[in-house]
Structure 1
Amino acid sequence: MNALIIKEVIGYENVNKRFEEAKIMFIEMKKILKEIIEGKKWLDRDTKDRIIKKVNDITYYDKIYNDYHNLTNVEKLYELLIYGKKQNYFFIKMYTKFFKELIENSLPEGYEGYIIEILTDNASYFTRSFKIFTLLGYMLEPIFDTHFMIPMKYGSLGSILGHEILHSLDHSNLGIISKYTSGEILSEYSRKEYNIRRQCLVDQYSKYDVRLPGTKIDGVATYDENLSDNSGLKLAYKAYKRYQEKYGSDKNKINGFTRYSNDQLFFISYAHSFCSKVTDEKKMEIINKKVYHLPSDLRIIISIGNQKEFSNAFNCKIGSVMNPKDKCEVWKVKH
């Protein structure tokens, strides 16, 4: 069904254009990240070389989309769905229910779960193969379109790509030195410096007042996602400004939004990509379960609060919620 929707409603050419543009953004953001790493004084030469090599090896993988609209490949998937003549209705119903899981377990490494949920809004970084996926739900309006202004593209899809790229350098993945190979990326000296910066972010989230009874963020459990939110957003902003320096600024002609500057549109688009409605009860459940992702509103507010570019764009008062005096940056970006 997904393949039919892509073919008849969205169109393969339309899909390809979106992924071509995403690849361009991805390549530029990798380049900028390597420049950032090169400029870090708290990273020794060997550590920089290991990180840069790892970043070089990260690929933006869209082969799955080319495979998915190939009828022969789709038929191969459904060859896994085998019914016997003597199987009753209830068995068939149960078997069909678990067909998705059956397919996932039969797919090669790198396809985990995504061939079925291709139209959902999700993205992932695969820790062993260094591949990044963005599913088509993130490539369509209202999150992304090839006709969007540059700040909107980078604020939404760019921040998503940045988030996944930075997962390669989160706490869990610093123990993976190359594809399918465990090893320590940071030297002893760089590890000490990194831990200082990491603790800042852990403490900031742990101390954040979520204003919900009996509810407290676990800054350690959520660190990897929080790091990727913060540093991925910074990386996307840097890439947007780099594009602006090269090609100039877009003129804002969006009805109802002409009062906003390009920088403001960047952050508005970032927040918009998280758009959701969650009850306080559900937020409490998510936070208290100590799952990796925080509720969307907290992900937006805290990560944006760490961006001096946001407070400059919106003239936020120092010491306010959106412009706290103490900001945390692990992989700091200089413009």
Structure 2
Amino acid sequence: MTTIATMLGADAKVAAEDFNDLIEFEIKLANLTTPADQRRDNNALYNKMTIAQLQYNVTGFDWLDFFSKLGASWSEDLQESEEIVVNEPRYIREITEVVQNTPHRTIANYIVWIITMKRISQLGSNFRDVEQKYDEVVYGTASESARWQTCVGHVNNVMDFAVGRMFVDVHYDEKSKIRTNKMIDFILEAFLELVDESEWMDAPTKVVAKEKAEIMNRQIGYPDWIKENEELTDYFKNYDFDSGKYFENYLQYVKENTQRGFEYLRKPVDKFKWLTGPAIVNAYYDPTKNSITLPAGILQPPYYHKDSPQYLNFGGIGMMIGHEITHGFDDRGRQYDKDGNLEQWWTDESIDAYVGRTLCIVDQYDKYYMEECNMTLNGVQTQGENIADNGGLKEAYRGYRKMVEETMDDEELRLPGIGLTQDQMLFVNFAQIWCSKYTEQGARNRILTGVHSPGPYRVEGSISNLPEFAKVFNCPASRPMNPDKKCTVW
């Protein structure tokens, strides 16, 4: 912080003193913040109230004036009767008191530093070198990414749907959408079977759970509108980029992206709207829309290839599909109904039984020890992703077996020279997609802040709970990959 400030013209001694005060302020903010592993109850985070009610509960700050000055088109006619959602009322109350007792200079420095910190990546190499030294300490990364990778990443971030259009025009086989949809059908069928087989879930809850799964929206590849030149051009009409003004271009994007966020207010929710461009290697489930999204960028090796044997595809993208479906029924996703509303739609008995099973998963992952940083995982913080991993792999394997039985006369050919069966290769490809290596700093940061378990434990945790894996590989009983106690949610 001090180095960057002096590079921008500050006196080094004054900057050091100011930033000591700023660090103390940030420590106060951190100590008021509820830890991530205690923020998994979405009902507790959904506190709807009017601005007037917020003002009554949190005094000493003019909330209507604050929201009115955000500069959005709707802010001019904002009234105290406007409803808002306050994630953490306690934090808002306490932070308001802290701000009132903090010197204005410290708060001003904090605001300017946050803005500066977020823009260092768009500055010259002398600034980025300072950031790189910081990253080496915190994450263990020894060097900055290749410049072309950084630039491509920035362009894909800012021009997501334009880059996505270019990507799908060249690299996306339209038949992949049909094949992926068929895979989803088999994997969804497997999930519905798991619901029926669940001894802990009562009949009324099974009915609504299956309804939610059956109407889950699928977004595969890319949104159709990006193929329309006029629509795509109109989407970026507010940009006026200059090839010689990289930093200013990025500020344009930040402003436009913020304005787009404001424009959602008072408009009906578009449950079919894509949240990301197609050229990203990711997949996600949106509980408020009850939808899974598989962009074109992830429909490539090692997750998927149109010419790969299906046992590899099911171990890769098939597991990801099952993972995202299961997110609709993990510890947070299950709190949303089939229409994306946050409400209780399970019986109390099924909820109690579900929580008991999730505790088994939490306890299992709590015990995993990561030698790189001499720490154990946080089973509470990662439970949603762990539940999705376990369910997703089970559904992918069942889905593959269903596809073979229903659509094939014979198994696909084995891969030559490997000596593994089709079923074994499904699990091998699943493990391969999570191959990873961590520095000590990176491992520590992942455990402290991540919602996903590190790669090796995503694999070990899932396969050790799956009897089918033990059967396929003839694992002896009571061994690490075939323990006597197995955790099962789905």
TM range (shorter): 0.7 to 0.9
Contact 2:373 2:440 in 1 (8 A): no
Q: Deviations over 1:283-311 (max 9, x none)?
A: 2220122x211221221121112122222
Residues 1:98 and 2:258 aligned together: no
Indicate how the Cα distance of structure 1 residues 90 and 288 shifts in structure 2: closer, same or farther if over 3 A, else same.
closer
Mapped to 2, the partners of 1:83 and 1:265 lie a distance apart of 48
Indicate how the Cα distance of structure 1 residues 303 and 104 shifts in structure 2: closer, same or farther if over 3 A, else same.
farther
Mapped to 2, the partners of 1:104 and 1:270 lie a distance apart of 38
Q: Deviations over 1:79-135 (max 9, x none)?
A: 131479xxx9477334245378458636855545412xx222100111111111012
Gaps of 5+ in 2: 1-162, 265-269
* TM-score, with structure 1 as normaliser: 0.86
Indicate how the Cα distance of structure 1 residues 63 and 120 shifts in structure 2: closer, same or farther if over 3 A, else same.
closer
1:177 offset after TM fit, Å? Answer: 1.8
In structure 2, the residue matched to 1:42 is: 200
Q: CA RMSD in A?
A: 2.5
Indicate how the Cα distance of structure 1 residues 69 and 151 shifts in structure 2: closer, same or farther if over 3 A, else same.
same
1:21 offset after TM fit, Å? Answer: 0.8
Indicate how the Cα distance of structure 1 residues 243 and 109 shifts in structure 2: closer, same or farther if over 3 A, else same.
closer
Residues 1:244 and 2:404 aligned together: yes
In structure 2, the residue matched to 1:328 is: 487
Q: Deviations over 1:136-184 (max 9, x none)?
A: 2221123211221121111111100000000010111222123132221
Q: 1:6 aligns with which of 158, 168, 178?
A: 168
Query: Which range moved further: 136-145 or 309-318?
Result: 309-318
In structure 2, the residue matched to 1:293 is: 452
Query: Which range moved further: 128-137 or 95-104?
Result: 95-104
Residues 1:114 and 2:270 aligned together: no
Mapped to 2, the partners of 1:233 and 1:224 lie a distance apart of 14
SS of match in other structure, 1:60: strand
- Share of identical aligned residues, percent? 24
Mapped to 1, the partners of 2:189 and 2:305 lie a distance apart of 23
Mapped to 2, the partners of 1:20 and 1:99 lie a distance apart of 38
Mapped to 2, the partners of 1:255 and 1:261 lie a distance apart of 10
SS of match in other structure, 2:284: strand
Indicate how the Cα distance of structure 1 residues 20 and 199 shifts in structure 2: closer, same or farther if over 3 A, else same.
same
SS of match in other structure, 1:61: strand
Mapped to 1, the partners of 2:275 and 2:246 lie a distance apart of 25
Mapped to 2, the partners of 1:74 and 1:320 lie a distance apart of 55
In structure 2, the residue matched to 1:312 is: 471
Q: 5 Å matches for 1:24-39?
A: 24-39=182-197
Higher relative contact order (CA 8 A, sep 6+): 1
In structure 1, the residue matched to 2:232 is: 74
- The AA in structure 2 aligned to 1:313 is V
Mapped to 1, the partners of 2:360 and 2:315 lie a distance apart of 25
SS of match in other structure, 1:23: helix
Contact 2:212 2:338 in 1 (8 A): yes
In structure 2, the residue matched to 1:152 is: 312
Indicate how the Cα distance of structure 1 residues 55 and 251 shifts in structure 2: closer, same or farther if over 3 A, else same.
closer
SS of match in other structure, 1:125: strand
Indicate how the Cα distance of structure 1 residues 91 and 279 shifts in structure 2: closer, same or farther if over 3 A, else same.
closer
> Based on CA coordinates, which of the two structures has the bigger radius of gyration?
2
In structure 2, the residue matched to 1:62 is: 220
Query: Which range moved further: 210-219 or 71-80?
Result: 210-219
- The AA in structure 2 aligned to 1:161 is I
- The AA in structure 2 aligned to 1:75 is T
* TM-score, with structure 2 as normaliser: 0.60
